[in-house]
Structure 1
Amino acid sequence: MQASQFTYAPIPAAAEALRNEVRAFLAVEMGRIGPLARADSWMGFDAEFSRKLGEARLIGITMPTVLGGRGLDYFARYVVSEELLAAGAPVSAHWIADRQSAPLLLRYGTEEQKRRYIPGINRGELYFCIGMSEPNAGSDLSAIGSRARREGAGWRLDGRKIWTTNAHRSHYMIALVRTGSPDEGRQGGMSQFVINLAAPGVTVRPIRDLTGGDHFNEVFFDDVVLAEDALIGTEGKGWEQVMAELAIERSGPERFLSSMALLHSLIGVLGASPDALESFHVGRLTARLFALRTMSLAVTAKFAAGEDPAWAASCVKDIGTGLEQELPEIAALIGREQPRVGSGSELAQIQAYLTQLAPSFSLRGGTREILRGILARGLGLR
């Protein structure tokens, strides 16, 4: 039954034509980006790069032209994303806003919200983070406790969020919080809000990872005042809205291209005459990448057709995460030198960095356990 979720979907010629435009941009702008920085790619924050990408109109590909976008389809955005990630471009500053915040606002936001936020996102100047996970909820999004209470013409928000990528560098957060009563059920009574992270009562505390990076953050809301127009979409319909948002988050090429800098460097070291074991592993990795790309493009086709590909997106994310986490291990198995932090060859440093970062790949966008629960339900197994 689920095989039809991944029907082959070739990239249309009109979208494919964008590839040369992106490559021309990268040929100019990537010269200053070193090999180790390229390993960070969609976690690499570079405001200048994002601004230049916005000037080149390579952000907001699917957004309406009246809002500063290009009015193209999901396949066009896929081509742009694929080229940026394959090159190791530092896209983290604008990535979340472009990938899911702007589409969410376009689908559910008011006209005023669209005009206020989307043009700045498309210019690469306005950054958003995601407020979903919470410290006491584990991987169960339906267990969140942050709450916004009606007060006059607005709301008052209390609670906290965790694993909020780039919250310390973002202007706004789109957060899922409770607004209804407990009798509405675990997935009922939730709403989404746009929160100004510079507002009184908002505190952001970075969480450092094994590499010393501070991509993740914990965010505290203490009696934060929200205006009426901070609400996105329909009050109480936040669960349905956030599920649509997560399908976008989980299905893109970033779910299997995070470690491309390592694969490129490894192939460069192995050269034109790898031994039998090296050839086997590189060939197997390449085959898995092509399969994941085909699956991801099938999900893109569903978005383009206006369908809900939540099950298929979860599948791409789960399998893609597995590949990303295995790649550093395979590199260590067949590599000709050991990973090293702060010294050694390009390959040794990239390998060390991604070995430390790889455990986080199965956290962001939904843990493996949650995703496999979704897959089991889709297959009728639970």
Structure 2
Amino acid sequence: MDVRQISFTFEDEGSLDESLPPIKVAFLGTRHPHVMYRFTVLEQMGGFEFSGFYEEDMGIATELAKRLPRLTRFDTPEALLDTNPDVVMIHALDPDVPRWARFAINHPAAFKGLFLEKPGTALPEDFYQLADEIEKKRPGLAVELGYELHYSESLAFARKVIHDGVLGDITTARFHGGCPSGAGMDLWQAIPEDLGGIMQTEGCHTLENVLDLFGAPDRVVSSIRKLPQRPPHPVVGWIPDLFTGTVHEGEFGVGTLLYEDVCSGIMEYSDKTIVLDMTAWEPTQWCNEWAIDIYGTNGSLHVIPDYPVATLYLREARGEFAAGPSKLSTEKPHGTSNIPSCYRKQLESLFARVRGTKVAGLGCCDLQTNVKILKVIDAFYKSATSRQWKDV
């Protein structure tokens, strides 16, 4: 979903509290396309000052300065952070996120918030070390990873259903994720230094949902594989570079990606089993096929993060939910993407922590959340290589 290609407004979602001072935001590293999305959302939100940006790639920096004239371009990262921002947002590609995060925490600027594009690293072990460094050098720093789908209204519905125990004893669940056909060619899905492809770059989103609802598994077993090469077919969409946006023309074939085409895995808990599957070749737009199916002794729950859908079926009434089917009443008309709202809610959550009006918890995608996600991802890849169960 390219936020820049859709029309949205936050005017009907409540006015800003003008008594609060504006949050000052600095963009350190701008090579991941989500930087364009979050800038667009921030402009719609209002109530913020932009310190500016620094990007080490001269070509990207020059073009970004033309396209986003409200962002002052700085010639050095030191000069950018010398503006004393409240929040530093890092949208580098995976191998460079830890490098820029370390640069930021070692700079004397007393910023209170740090935003890191997911999954936050090319190799999991580097993020474990980074998390430890951040917590030691910047205790109390509000850190958020770029899992905007955590803030989907259908995931909020799922959290309440699970938290309230309305499904009874949950025995199994299925989680599906992936990307549209062609999107596996996106620049951030095919980074040579990365551990892998779709399981790392998009599976982290799906695993965030798993861990958010159920915590980390005890052990996993998985298959991560490239499929036999097939003839090219028309793409759904892909993003070739930072500025072009989503392209709906071109042909790619299964088996031609740098990394895996598919992934499947079993996550074992003491009281349940959860299965996960990913494909880089979904036939529809972003997230439309992502699905969560949860089965308990008193009911079942079926969720799609976006376009948001949540359907609950209960044998017996529990809490505020009646017996029989119940459906989430969505913020937008049914069949409408609400991704911009996910971005907004995530930024509001981070900024509330920066202002001290909210503490980290279930409503945040913080450092230790990402450590847990990456440990499961690491176990998935190791299991696929060894063809054995791996403890998490």
- Which band: TM-score by shorter chain? under 0.3
Structure having the higher strand fraction is: 2
Structure having the higher helix fraction is: 1
TM-score by length of 1: 0.26
